[in-house]
Amino acid sequence: MTPNILNQCSSVFVGLLLTLILSLGSILFAPANAQVPVRVEQDCGGLEPLRWTNRLLIADDSPLFTQEDFTPESEWRSPEEDVTGGYLVTQCFGEPTPKSDRFVLHSYPAAPLTPRWTRPVILLTGAGDNALRSMSFFAVALSRAGFQSYALSFAHRHGDNYQQAELLARAIKFVLAETGADAVDLVAYSKGTLPARIYTSHHEQADFSQGSPNYAMYGQEYAHDVHSLFLVGGPNAGLDTPFRWSSSNLFALQSPPLDTPSAWIGYYPTGTANPFNRTPLEERSIYTLEQAPYLGQAQMLADLRSMHELPGLNLNLGFYGNQIDYYTTYEGGYGFYTESLGIERAINDGGNSIATLNEAGVDPSVEIFLIAGGNPIMSVGGLNQSLYESFWGDAEAADRRQTWEQLSEDWLDQVFPWANMAFRYDTPRLFAGTAFLGEISGPSDGLVFVESALAQEGLGSAGAQVTEAKLFEALNHAELVAASQLASDFYGDAELAGVLYDQNLSEKYAQSENQVIEYVLTQLKRGGPVQASNETEAGSEAGSEAGSEANSEMSIDDMGVNPQDMASNESQAGSLAPEINQEIAGQEQTIIPSETYGSQSERFAGSGCSAQSDLNHFNLLTLLFGAFALATYRRRLSL
């Protein structure tokens, strides 16, 4: 063998040896982010006729994950007859108080015969809810447009947003490995915006040691795997509902109590002058005391008095602003009937998370879209004859309705200097008593102030730019995950919608300026990668089983999906009519007459109404109604 050939052989051998060494090194010393640190524990079946597939995923061991505290009302105990997804998620977790290292991953395939968008979309729901109930409208619309989507139901519906941010990071890696994509798009709603912001803000310059020392130590840094981030109805500058509307805390006193945090730690029925007659509320409080069942709620808090004055100081609100011990609830201390530690203590217990996030800022590589609603009128059901009669059907109805209409008109004139024709579809329900006013101490979607939802300053601290901040003036908090042509078709079909038929809502959602989901789809498609339909792709089999005749122009019937079978919404309300069946679903309470509430209308996807549920699904909007109800009751006593 000649020296030349020997030299060539030696070079090849050395090259192969170096390649082997480098390969072993990349395996042995690869960062944790390069792996998929989550495993599939079990397949949990589907939710027909929707095409969701559901799996329980458990994260690899990490000191970050804990067993969080639950109240009895926040445990996973949905009954078998709950067809809105709660029972499926309950069975999937397998225990009422699951550890926070696990989550249910829901996936929805792109519809057959549609172009495939190569970036999957991950949907994050809000407080007190499961993703099957709240995100089905989005998932079906994404499917029709050719997107594969995923959604997460976390173990604790009011849980630690930092632990949930870590689960989101791991879920993204799992989705990318499953789809072969290199990035995802995130659509996060309400409380779900917190984990999304935490993860995309966890860059090298971020300091989370105050917000969560464990997350600062063990949480995965942002891996540049999110292309677009949609923050829908998010408290970007925080919220202060249980402190601002102090009378709402009375819901913690009813039996059984609702799944809501209390700003009070004690209530004195005969006054604080009698300390021996005290109802303890520490175990239900928003503070971190012996337990912290509402830590995720505390992490959303901020002192917003500089944004909008408290209702008790706003004379324009009249008796609506008459809140029990409003000053001591906010500042802390003993009031006439209550004991509070104050919002500053609660903010600190939540790690001052809003300030921490605003100081860190989202990674500049992420494209950000902000979406807010501007309608504080929270619907408690369609304006139909049954609801109307249930509230106005007694002998005193005429006088009561006249009084209510006059009060409503006065409120609209005095309290809503920002009001315009955008509310024209909802004021009839307000006057008839089938809707109520949510957050009205400033422009809001009924829960989150517009100024908070569209706040940009903190998002850009690390150089990120908000591509667009979009205000949907006619939509309330619940409608932000439902308003679409799909919802319009449903509400406008009397046979399909049944008791939920509402021509006003159908017309409202048919207007392009009110279609949130279409807006999001437009942004997702803008310059995005697309490939031809391929029925062998991941997720296509499930789509084919649902009917290969489907296409991007299909109707709600063609999808094989009845919107009554979709669950939505995070927003809750209440009613003074005792004969109306109350349903607390996520963040909105649905009021539907029990005598007309059949099995076919138990599942529902949308906008101010939701499906039959249980009292465990709750959010802060119900607190606002409690404030109104108390004020109304006290006014009646004084008449």
152 in a domain, yes or no? no
Residue tagged 């108390």 (tokens): 630
CA distance 420 to 406: 18
Number of Cα atoms under 13 Å in the Cβ half of residue 432: 19
Residue partners of 420: CB distance under 8 A and separation at least 6: 473
Q: What does pLDDT average to over the chain?
A: 78
Per-residue pLDDT, 433: 66
pLDDT tens digits, residue range 119-160? Answer: 999 999 999 999 999 999 899 999 999 999 999 999 999 999
User: How many folded domains does the chain comprise?
Assistant: 1
Residue 621 located in a structural domain: no
Could you give the angle at which helices 161-179 and 193-200 cross, rounded to 10 degrees? 70
Q: What is the pLDDT of residue 387?
A: 45
pLDDT at residue 163, rounded to an integer: 98
Say yes or no to pLDDT of 519 above 60: yes
Count of CB atoms within 10 A of residue 628's CB? 21
Query: At residue 467, does pLDDT exceed 50?
Result: yes
What span, in angstroms and rounded, lies between the C-alpha atoms of 637 and 433?
A: 20
What integer is the mean pLDDT of 302-309? 96
Q: Give the orientation angle of helix 136-144 with respect to helix 516-525, to 10 degrees.
A: 40
pLDDT at site 408? 65
**Residue 491 domain-assigned (yes or no):** no
Q: Give residue 141's pLDDT.
A: 95
CA dihedral 501, 502, 507, 511 (to 10 degrees): -80
Residue with the larger pLDDT of the pair 554 and 109? 109
Q: What is the pLDDT of residues 604-623, one digit of tens each?
A: 333 323 322 333 333 444 44
DSSP 575-609: -S-TTEEEEEETTEEEEEEGGG--GGGS--EETTE
7-16, 79-88, 301-310: segment of lowest average pLDDT: 7-16
- The three-class DSSP label of residue 333 is strand
Tell me if 301 is assigned to some domain: yes
Higher pLDDT, 506 or 589: 506
**What is the domain range of residue 294?**
241-352
Residue 205 has pLDDT above 50, yes or no: yes
Please report the pLDDT score of residue 254 as a whole number. Answer: 84
CB 373 within 8 A of CB 472: yes
pLDDT digits (tens, 9 = 90+) for 534-553: 444 444 343 333 333 333 33
pLDDT at 578 over 80: no
**Statement: residue 450 has pLDDT above 80:** yes
Is 388 part of a structural domain of the chain?
no
* Residue 590 backbone phi and psi in degrees, to 5: -100, 135
For the ranges 316-320, 339-343, 423-427, the one whose mean pLDDT is highest: 339-343
Give the CA radius of gyration of the chain: 25
CA angle 609, 92, 548 (to 5 degrees): 70
Mean per-residue pLDDT, 447-460: 96
Residue 215: predicted pLDDT: 96
308, pLDDT greater than 50: yes
Average pLDDT over residues 200-214: 95
pLDDT at position 29: 43
Mean pLDDT across the stretch 174-186? 96
- Residue 307, in any domain of the structure: yes
pLDDT at 156: 97
**Residue 438 counted as domain residue:** no
Residue 563 has pLDDT above 70, yes or no: no
For 375-382, what is the mean pLDDT? 70
**Helix spans in 230-378 (H):** 241-244, 295-298, 326-331, 343-349, 353-360
Q: Is residue 329 part of a domain?
A: yes
Listed range (175-189, 337-351, 585-599) with the worst mean pLDDT: 585-599
Residue pair 480/134 in contact (Cβ under 8 Å)? The answer is no
The mean-pLDDT minimum among 53-67, 181-195, 279-293, 495-509 falls in: 495-509
- What average pLDDT score do residues 183-201 get? 98
